[in-house]
Amino acid sequence: MSAIRDFLQRRLDAGEWSIGQVLVRPGITLRHVADASRPGLENFTRPEDARELAKYDAAGSYRPLKTAPNLRTGWLLTLSTIDELRLALDFLYPAAIGTRLALERGELVAFPLRATLGRQTGMYRVAQLITDEQAEEVIRETCDEGCLRRRLWKISTVDAIAAKPSDVPFVPCAEACNLLVAACRPMGKQNLPKTEATT
């Protein structure tokens, strides 16, 4: 935990920075990047408020993926300590800070999609049957168009992470998430033998 505190303090000492759609400024204030110079923002002061801010988009729809590019605007979160900042960022972008720190230390391991699908059981086991072409389509729709994370994993191969931290947006992705696995399931079902596809 002290490593994360030190990491966040260094970021604050260097000036303002962004993570996903959130702008963090010295003095420990957070706001949507689109609100960088907007006055009259709704004020919040508890790190737990970030959980509610991240829960729904501007239309009031639930956000199952916290790194989707639909965080609502119009708010200002003012915090007092580095620990409060860490907690608020975890509510906004779960595990993003720890993943970023691991990337910068050269300790982040990326798992290919096939490895993630290979661990699935029950109703998600069928996702393993997805073809590489189908996987590319699902990744394009779910990850490339619907998520702010920078994908560091591939479909089948296990390669060393070649990207420098400076080349990766603040939120790296080291493994396919549950939403992508769920999106692979219908495609995998298409590849079942006809006798099994009806079950």
pLDDT tens figures, 66-111: 999 999 999 999 999 999 999 999 999 999 999 999 988 888 889 9
The total of other beta-carbon atoms located within 10 Å of residue 85's CB is 25
Instruction: Determine the pLDDT at residue 160.
Output: 60
Residues 116-127: what's their mean pLDDT? 95
For the chain, give every residue range classified as CATH 3.30.1360.190: 2-94
For the chain, give every residue range classified as CATH 3.30.70.2320: 109-192
Instruction: Determine the pLDDT at residue 161.
Output: 66
The model carries a pTM of: 0.85
Fold classification of 109-192 (topology level):
Alpha-Beta Plaits (3.30.70)
> Cβ contacts of residue 87 below 8 Å, gap of 6+?
47, 48, 50
Fold classification of 2-94 (topology level):
Gyrase A; domain 2 (3.30.1360)
Residue-wise DSSP of 115-176: HHHHT--GGGGGGGG--HHHHHHHHIIIIITT--SEE---SS--------GGGS-SSEE-S-
Residues 153-177: what's their mean pLDDT? 77
